[in-house]
Structure 1
Amino acid sequence: MAEEKPIHIPRQGYPELAYPKNIMPVATDSRQSAGIHILEYWRVIVARRWTVLAVVLTTMMVSLIWTFKQTPIYRAEVTIQIDRENQNILSFKDVYEVESSTDDTLRTQFEILKSRSLARRVIEDLHLDRNQEFQPGDLSTAGTYLDAIRRLVSPTSSTTADPDLLRPIIDQYLERLQVYPVRQARLVTVSFESKDPNLAARVMNAHAKHFIEQNFQYKWEATQQASDFLKQQLANLRSNLEKAEDRLQAYSREHQILFTEQGRNTATEKLQQLEEESTKAQAERFQKESYDRLVRAGNVDGLPQLLANQLLETLATRLAELQRDESELAVTFSPDYPSRKRKRSQIEQIESAMREEKERIVRTVHAEYTASVERENLLSNAVDQQRETVNRLNEEIIQYNIIKREVDSDKQLYEGLLTRLNEAGISADLRASNIRIVDTAEVPRNAIRPRKTLNVILSLFFGLLSGIGLALFQEHIDDTIKTIEDINEYLNAPTLGVVPRLQTLHGSPGYRSAYADPSKAQLPLADAIGKIDTISHEAPSSLMAEAYRSIRTSLLLSSPGRPPKLVLVTSSAPSEGKTVTAINLAISLTQVGARVALIDADMRKPRIQSVFALNDGVGLSSVLTGTASLKMAVQPCPIPNLYVIPCGAIPPNPGELLVADGFRRLIEVLLQFFDFVVLDSPPVSNVSDARVLGSMCDATILVVKAQSTSRYQAATTVAHLRDSHVRLAGVILNELDVRAGGYHAYYYKNYSYMTEANTHSA
């Protein structure tokens, strides 16, 4: 055949293979962003799902075993109300301390609830020292370890005998006791944890009862102490009061200090009376003096005594009548008329009586004035004398008042302490308390620990978190090639295609489409794996076959101008799928109507003859050594247009046979009769055969096994090929786990629609 022989392509069956000239495969950008996208994390988790699942199951199993091995712990609670102190009975704060705030009082009561003395009372009452739960052997594993650490840290404390045998029991008791104040209320909730629910309830009720009794006891003891203190002080005050009263009485007798019933001094009272009498005498003297001045002025008739004198008034009335009668007689009779003389005699008698009465009143006015002056002088002298006496007594009363104040102060203290002593005696007999139990402890029905549901949820959460962390860590330390991006980044080579792992497609729609007839049952996984070598022929509508057809298309488009005719398929290391890739690539090339020769050039570990069940007696080694002709080595197979040249007998020197001119001439002859020649070579890392063959071929395909081939090994292989001037057409990512996510997973999981549609149309 001529070198530019065209390739027959049935466009009706495979229109996607009509490729234009100078078309190169599109390379994928190696870095989408500076950081790893969230989908990459999801891909890692799905790819390493078994690691995550193993960690989750292990964590949950350990958690479940630990949870169900734990002894159930029950919690009993009691609610206590703490009111303010009743101030109507006795305020002990007045005796001992200044009043403190309510919050301080509540906090004090909260601390008393957690006191060792109260715990000791409960332990002794319920005989908890005999309870097996409080014995030292009942400590948990963590408690045993902590106790051992404490003995190591302070060995002297463990060897010294503790005289208080209840100390470790009290420590355990207080570790299980919790006090929870209720916000915005005078309530407190006290709880106790125990393995026995009945014991937890009994301990809490006893704790509340002893808390109230201890409060009673504290108050009674405080009352007794206050009574003793008051009695002692009363005895001292009584003695001081008696001495002060005796000293006051002696001083009063010595200085003749007397007081009235109203508590006033008699000397002061007398001075006040004398001053009042002196004032009255002075006022009276003023009045008498005014009367005397009227008399001296000759205005006797202006005296009030004359005007108010009843006798003068009677005499004046009688005189007026006689004068009227005498006037009437004077009209008729002469002066010597006896009636007139008698009238005139009576008039003269009355006038004489009136003069005598006036003179007597004048003499009385003079006498009263003289007496008032004398009385005023006497009272003034008496006031002066009494003032001297009062001034002298005032100086003595100062000291008297000092002594009296001492007596009054001692008396008030004595009376106050006597009142408090009586109140203390009454309080000692009363059992009034500001503490009461609101809710008694009931026997708990459900255990608070272990919290099985919470432990399972937490174990699931932390197991999932640890599993994801371990998966990400494995992904970080894993240097194998897993994605196309790794190929582009680390190998700097184009990707011809991706071949999924058959096990990851089992059960998916794409796997079911392996058969042209949808009515056929799904092929068992073992049978499918056995036919994967020729799956492009056995199941042409499967996703696996489609993957190889995609590789074929990429290969045909990889060379500008014309497709490569001589193709080498190799790998970095054994068991990476190069032989299966070479077989299925050759089969896919025959499906476009081309004649293809498949050569098993791996003369160190050949496998193609076993796949096609060919005669391995004659093959490539026979032709190169001259023991057989090329026509004898080329063997047909059940696949149309596909001819196979097996390896034949394994030669001792395969490298020398491939370098010889006979191999080049063999290739030139084959290219004249076949459209494509596909070679399966040994791995690059083991021997140099692949580099020798690659330098002769139009294109070399490197097969990389996903999650198996290391980046360093693949990069070294690519470097060796390029150093040998091998034209690397691209890399095939083989056995990709499509369950790990990504574009290729989406493609292979959702391609069933197109493949099944093609099946029905066929």
Structure 2
Amino acid sequence: MKSESTLPNMLVNGAAPGQTDDDVSLLTLWHNVQSHRRLFWGVAAGVVALAVAYLIVAAPVYKADALIQVDEQQGSALGALSDVASALSLNKPIDGELDILSSRAVLEPAIDATQARTTIFVANRVPLLGRLYGRYKTPPNGLADAPLGLTGFAWGGERLVVAAFDTPRVLYGEKFRLRVQPGNRWTLEDPDGAIVASGGLHERVKFVVQTDFGPAPGVIEIRELRGRPGTSFKLVEASLQDTIEAMRKRMTVQETTKGSSMIQLSVKNSDPALAAAFANEVAHAYVALNIKHRAEQSRLSLEFLNRKLPAFRDELAQSEDRLNAFRIRTKTIDIEQQTEALLTRAVDLTKQKTLIDLNLQATREQFRPGHPAVQTLEAQDAALQSALHDVEKQVQALPSTQQDYLRLARNVAVDTQLYTALVANAQQLEVAEAGTTGNVSVIDFAVRPDSAAWPRVPLVLAGGVLGGLFLAFVVTQAVAALHDALRSPLDVERVGQAPIFAVVPVSTAEQQVAKLRRGAADRARQETALLASRSPSDPSIEALRSLRAALRFSMVGKAGGSILFTGPTEGVGKTFVALNFAYVLALKGLRVLIVDADLRRAGARRYFAMERAYAGFANVLSGDATLDEAVIPTDLRGLDLLPAGSALPPNPGELLERPAFAAMLKDAATRYDYVVVDSPPVLPVSDAITLAQACDATFVVSRAETTNRHQLAETMTRLNQSGVRVTGQVFNGVQTTRYGYGYGYGYRYQAQA
């Protein structure tokens, strides 16, 4: 049954009666951030610091861009014959061109031209510092001055470009070292450190290197060398396939806008010159491959026409002979106007169908049956065949003599036009094969970039700030979920299964008093530093007055007694609650004794003026002093203090288990109205359980955002299992604004020196 005093306490904290543990709101998330604000800002600042460190140490990456135009209109398989069969013009998908640009056929020539298989980097540069120094101190096309005369290191501006570097296949990925010698000379060392070659600029030097499979040949030629004597470079050659895959990752090929037929080629590299050179070589290789492909199409079409021309020439001669023989036999010189119109129509359709058939044959030699070009030609051929069938029906309606003449004249006209067109087309293809131009052109060649494309300072910093805030938010929510701290009196009462007698808010005045206590730690205190004596109207003291009122109802039939305050762990404020509550009792005119029973970390003495070390609770239990000798009067009326003792014992647990404690309580009860015991926390040690078994009332103090559910539940379980009846709970450290709770503590609890 809940006590009546708990209801207003719940309203103080603002908890809704129907709220459940699983409710998650924006306010809850904000509480978690405020409760762990140090962790939040620490994580956020750490991520921002990492972003700044990345900007400092990250090697710059440069991007070179080239712009390529693709003319999508492609000629037919037979070139000029597309004027007759216009439907043969095909739109080549731009996506296919993007794939060609990143194909082996294009990348391999570009890799060979730029020696991209060889990775070169300076070997004797001071880590981090050397890169930073060189970034800001390297002049254009020159070497950075060596600071402090340290010429043995590379400080910026060093450059090595190879015209050729071939090593045995078994040494791919191994590091060769090239050292700069005076007079633009150099020496090359193999992976084992042995010198295998030496030479100067533009000298092609062959060398032999030892491998696990015996000696193997290699070759090197240096095109450009810049560096102080003693500067060393590392050279690593990769396989062609690995280099192709690596360059594909550094390339970006995309259409500028959909349907524009403009392709932007971008290459990223730490060397700006290499990035521009490789982009241009890829563009050159792509154009050359396109020209080669179109020239091959012209050659195949020309071969096809050369095979067909003799047959068409013979067919033309035979058609002319048959027409002349018919005219002589029938003595026919002219035909009627209707017949001539049919002849013209038939000649035109037959010519078109024949050309379609030729293009269809040529296209089938280049594409598979299901290709769109083949399907288009087949559809055109079927349409022309239907039109010819209609003309044939009209011809059959003519007299037989006119039918025969029309067919013969049609054959002569068709064969003449076809043969003439094919001869002209063959001549055009011969010219096209000799001087083929591609349908792609480079609009803008890549130029060497002056500034790095990455890292971008604003973008990295913005990402660090936003990423840091997000990560900090996630971490604080995860920590809050793992800590599972108590936040509302409703949570405390539900977990502790005991009524709440007081909800004590956080006091700003107590923080000032705590500073006073810390300031007087190294000198004799002249006055008591209790909040209840300095600020009796503080809200937290008012909450303790409600505890005093509730205590009268809970201890019905008893005018006084012993009251013990404990908590799950340290840091919950049990000493603050016990001592200020004792003074609130004394204000009613009662005589109250405070017993500092924490023999491991005595804390009550920090609140009172004590000019010297006194005998105390430990001395009374051990029999070294009587209660009268150990009790110290305070400067507060009706309030006395029994400190922990002048010397804390090494075995407080065994000392508390003696019957002397119960006897002392009995003796104190005859002299005081109330005995308030400040005990150690429950979870770290068992002292509180031993003390609680001898006291009349036991209160468990927990703190908002410090005590978690598991700690409070475990505390209650241990007390109940030991036969201790928990009178009630005190919920301490509640923010009236519900923001900014503190961060929790663990079970660690050790004696102070």
Please say whether Structure 1 and Structure 2 have the same fold, judged by a TM-score greater than 0.5.
yes
What SS does structure 2 have at the residue aligned with 1:535? coil
Report the counterpart of residue 344 of structure 2 in structure 1. Answer: none
What SS does structure 2 have at the residue aligned with 1:743? coil
C-alpha distance 717-235 of structure 1, shift in aligned 2 (>3 A): closer
Report the counterpart of residue 74 of structure 1 in structure 2. Answer: 62
Residue 642 of structure 1, CA deviation: 2.3
Greater relative contact order structure (CA < 8 Å, 6+ sep): 1
Q: 1:555 aligns with which of 539, 543, 548?
A: 548
Q: 1:583 aligns with which of 576, 579, 583?
A: 579
Name the amino acid aligned to 1:597.
Answer: L
Report the counterpart of residue 292 of structure 1 in structure 2. Answer: none
1:46 aligns with 2:34: yes
Report the counterpart of residue 270 of structure 1 in structure 2. Answer: none
What SS does structure 1 have at the residue aligned with 2:694? helix
CA–CA distance in 1 between the matches of 2:118 and 2:678?
Answer: 85
Residue 451 of structure 1, CA deviation: 4.1
What SS does structure 2 have at the residue aligned with 1:443? coil
Identity %: 23
CA–CA distance in 1 between the matches of 2:473 and 2:522?
Answer: 31
Report the counterpart of residue 692 of structure 2 in structure 1. Answer: 691
Residue 47 of structure 1, CA deviation: 1.9
C-alpha distance 455-566 of structure 1, shift in aligned 2 (>3 A): same
Structure 2 matches for 1:306-317, cutoff 5 A? none
In structure 1, runs of 5+ residues without a counterpart are 1-21, 140-163, 265-393, 516-521, 749-762
Name the amino acid aligned to 2:543.
Answer: S
1:493 aligns with 2:490: no
Question: Conserved in 2, the CA contact under 8 Å of 1:567 and 1:677?
Answer: yes
C-alpha distance 607-80 of structure 1, shift in aligned 2 (>3 A): closer
What SS does structure 1 have at the residue aligned with 2:481? helix
Report the counterpart of residue 161 of structure 1 in structure 2. Answer: none
Question: Conserved in 2, the CA contact under 8 Å of 1:536 and 1:548?
Answer: no
Residue 598 of structure 1, CA deviation: 2.8
Q: 2:311 aligns with which of 233, 236, 258?
A: 236
What do you get for the CA RMSD once the two structures are aligned? 5.1
Per-residue displacement from partner, 1:334-388 (whole Å, max 9, x unpaired)? Answer: xxxxxxxxxxxxxxxxxxxxxxxxxxxxxxxxxxxxxxxxxxxxxxxxxxxxxxx
Per-residue displacement from partner, 1:566-613 (whole Å, max 9, x unpaired)? Answer: 351331467455445433333344456654333456689876578654
Report the counterpart of residue 178 of structure 1 in structure 2. Answer: 252
Report the counterpart of residue 700 of structure 2 in structure 1. Answer: 702
What SS does structure 2 have at the residue aligned with 1:179? strand
Report the counterpart of residue 131 of structure 2 in structure 1. Answer: none
Residue 415 of structure 1, CA deviation: 1.5
1:568 aligns with 2:550: no
Question: Conserved in 2, the CA contact under 8 Å of 1:23 and 1:558?
Answer: no
Structure 2 matches for 1:427-576, cutoff 5 A? 427-428=432-433, 434-478=439-483, 481=486, 484-497=489-502, 510=509, 514=513, 527=520, 534-536=528-530, 540-541=534-535, 547-548=540-541, 550-560=543-553, 565-572=560-567, 575=570
Question: Conserved in 1, the CA contact under 8 Å of 2:73 and 2:91?
Answer: no
Report the counterpart of residue 113 of structure 1 in structure 2. Answer: 101
CA–CA distance in 2 between the matches of 1:692 and 1:130?
Answer: 82
C-alpha distance 494-213 of structure 1, shift in aligned 2 (>3 A): same
CA–CA distance in 1 between the matches of 2:526 and 2:488?
Answer: 22
CA–CA distance in 2 between the matches of 1:242 and 1:54?
Answer: 97
Aligned length: 547
1:415 aligns with 2:420: yes
Question: Conserved in 2, the CA contact under 8 Å of 1:534 and 1:584?
Answer: no
CA–CA distance in 2 between the matches of 1:180 and 1:222?
Answer: 27
Report the counterpart of residue 678 of structure 1 in structure 2. Answer: 676
Q: 1:204 aligns with which of 272, 276, 279?
A: 279
Structure 2 matches for 1:636-647, cutoff 5 A? 636-646=633-643
Name the amino acid aligned to 1:48.
Answer: H
CA–CA distance in 2 between the matches of 1:397 and 1:195?
Answer: 82
Name the amino acid aligned to 1:478.
Answer: H
Question: Conserved in 2, the CA contact under 8 Å of 1:603 and 1:654?
Answer: no
Q: What TM-score, normalized to structure 2?
A: 0.58
Residue 490 of structure 1, CA deviation: 0.9
CA–CA distance in 2 between the matches of 1:742 and 1:122?
Answer: 71
Name the amino acid aligned to 1:33.
Answer: Q
CA–CA distance in 2 between the matches of 1:724 and 1:714?
Answer: 16
Name the amino acid aligned to 2:8.
Answer: V
Residue 232 of structure 1, CA deviation: 3.6
CA–CA distance in 2 between the matches of 1:720 and 1:129?
Answer: 72
What SS does structure 2 have at the residue aligned with 1:559? helix
Q: 2:666 aligns with which of 652, 661, 664?
A: 664
Higher helix fraction (1 or 2): 1
CA–CA distance in 1 between the matches of 2:526 and 2:6?
Answer: 29
Residue 400 of structure 1, CA deviation: 7.5
C-alpha distance 626-614 of structure 1, shift in aligned 2 (>3 A): farther
C-alpha distance 59-542 of structure 1, shift in aligned 2 (>3 A): farther
Residue 398 of structure 1, CA deviation: 7.4
Per-residue displacement from partner, 1:145-164 (whole Å, max 9, x unpaired)? Answer: xxxxxxxxxxxxxxxxxxx9
Report the counterpart of residue 122 of structure 1 in structure 2. Answer: 110
Report the counterpart of residue 19 of structure 2 in structure 1. Answer: 33
CA–CA distance in 1 between the matches of 2:544 and 2:294?
Answer: 97
Structure of greater Rg: 1
Q: More deviation in 574-583 or 616-625?
A: 616-625
Question: Conserved in 2, the CA contact under 8 Å of 1:79 and 1:189?
Answer: yes
C-alpha distance 176-589 of structure 1, shift in aligned 2 (>3 A): same
Question: Conserved in 2, the CA contact under 8 Å of 1:514 and 1:542?
Answer: no
Residue 420 of structure 1, CA deviation: 1.5
Residue 403 of structure 1, CA deviation: 5.8
Question: Conserved in 2, the CA contact under 8 Å of 1:658 and 1:692?
Answer: no
What SS does structure 1 have at the residue aligned with 2:672? helix
Question: Conserved in 1, the CA contact under 8 Å of 2:74 and 2:92?
Answer: no
CA–CA distance in 2 between the matches of 1:171 and 1:429?
Answer: 36
C-alpha distance 208-477 of structure 1, shift in aligned 2 (>3 A): closer
CA–CA distance in 1 between the matches of 2:596 and 2:99?
Answer: 90
C-alpha distance 563-209 of structure 1, shift in aligned 2 (>3 A): farther
Higher strand fraction (1 or 2): 2
In structure 2, runs of 5+ residues without a counterpart are 122-161, 166-171, 176-237, 337-398, 743-753
What SS does structure 1 have at the residue aligned with 2:8? coil
Q: More deviation in 421-430 or 526-535?
A: 526-535
Name the amino acid aligned to 1:41.
Answer: L
Report the counterpart of residue 10 of structure 1 in structure 2. Answer: none
CA–CA distance in 2 between the matches of 1:451 and 1:100?
Answer: 50
CA–CA distance in 2 between the matches of 1:553 and 1:533?
Answer: 27
C-alpha distance 569-122 of structure 1, shift in aligned 2 (>3 A): same
CA–CA distance in 1 between the matches of 2:81 and 2:97?
Answer: 16
CA–CA distance in 2 between the matches of 1:86 and 1:104?
Answer: 7
Residue 717 of structure 1, CA deviation: 4.6
Residue 414 of structure 1, CA deviation: 1.7
C-alpha distance 37-419 of structure 1, shift in aligned 2 (>3 A): closer
Name the amino acid aligned to 1:474.
Answer: V
Structure 2 matches for 1:647-662, cutoff 5 A? 654-655=656-657, 657=659
CA–CA distance in 1 between the matches of 2:728 and 2:578?
Answer: 14
What SS does structure 2 have at the residue aligned with 1:180? strand
Question: Conserved in 1, the CA contact under 8 Å of 2:250 and 2:269?
Answer: yes
Question: Conserved in 1, the CA contact under 8 Å of 2:70 and 2:441?
Answer: yes
Name the amino acid aligned to 1:586.
Answer: A
C-alpha distance 630-99 of structure 1, shift in aligned 2 (>3 A): same
What SS does structure 2 have at the residue aligned with 1:72? coil
Residue 667 of structure 1, CA deviation: 0.8
C-alpha distance 106-26 of structure 1, shift in aligned 2 (>3 A): closer
Question: Conserved in 2, the CA contact under 8 Å of 1:129 and 1:169?
Answer: yes
CA–CA distance in 2 between the matches of 1:220 and 1:622?
Answer: 110
CA–CA distance in 2 between the matches of 1:125 and 1:170?
Answer: 13
What SS does structure 2 have at the residue aligned with 1:444? coil
